[in-house]
Amino acid sequence: MSGGTFALIGVLIATIIRKDKQFGKIESKKIAYTHIGLMIFTILITGFSLNVLIQMIFKFESTLKVIYVSNWVFSPLMNTILWGIITLLNVVILFSVFNLASRSEKARKLFVMLLPIVCALSILRSIGDIMSRSTPETPVGLVVVLVIAVLSLTYLPIFFFYRNANVKKAIFSNGKTDEKIETA
C-alpha cells in the first residue's frame, strides 16, 4: 500500500463526515459501518490502478515492457488492451466511491453496473497470468476455481450490498442527492 492510498482513505473519511453533517447520519449503524468498510476496502483493491495509471503516463516504456507480453490465449496487444480496460474501470470505480460517500444514487448505479464487469475481466486476466506461468504439473482446474473463488469473494459482497433495497433506502434516500430511488 502506498501513501497515496492512505491519503485517499483520509479524503473518503472527510467526505463521509461532511455528508453526515449535511444529510444526517445513517440510521442503521450496521449499514453505516458496512458502507464505510466496503468503501475503504474498495479503495484498497482499486487504489493500485491509479498508481499504475500514473506510472504508465510518466514511465510509459518501462510499464509497456511489463504489460505487452503474451498471456495465455491473449496476444501481447490484447493483453495490453485488457490490462488498460481493467485499469481504467478500476479508476472509475475508485472515483465513484467518493460519490458513494456523498450518497449519490447515480454513482451507486454506475458502481453496481461496473463491479461485475471488472470482476469478470480481472478473473480472465488473472487466469491468463497464472496459465502463462504454469508448468505441466500445475493443477489447472484447481487454479481456475481458486482464482474465480477469490476474485468473486472480493467483488460480489460489495455488489450485493449496494444492490440491497434496505441499503438504498438507508443511505441514498436520506438526502435525495440525485434522483428518486429506483431498483437497480
Per-residue model confidence as pLDDT tens digits over 5-58: 778 888 888 888 887 777 777 888 899 899 999 999 999 888 778 777 777 778
Domain boundaries, the chain: 3-172
Per-residue model confidence as pLDDT tens digits over 101-124: 888 999 999 999 999 999 999 999
Q: What Cα–Cα distance (Å) separates residue 122 from each residue in 37, 55, 155, 163? A: 22, 20, 10, 21
**Per-residue confidence (pLDDT) for residue 182, from 0 to 100:** 46
Higher pLDDT, 62 or 90: 90
Higher pLDDT, 123 or 74: 123
Short-list 95, 102, 7, CA closest to 49: 95
**Per-residue confidence (pLDDT) for residue 108, from 0 to 100:** 93
Task: State the pLDDT confidence band at 1, using cuts at 50, 70 and 90.
Answer: low
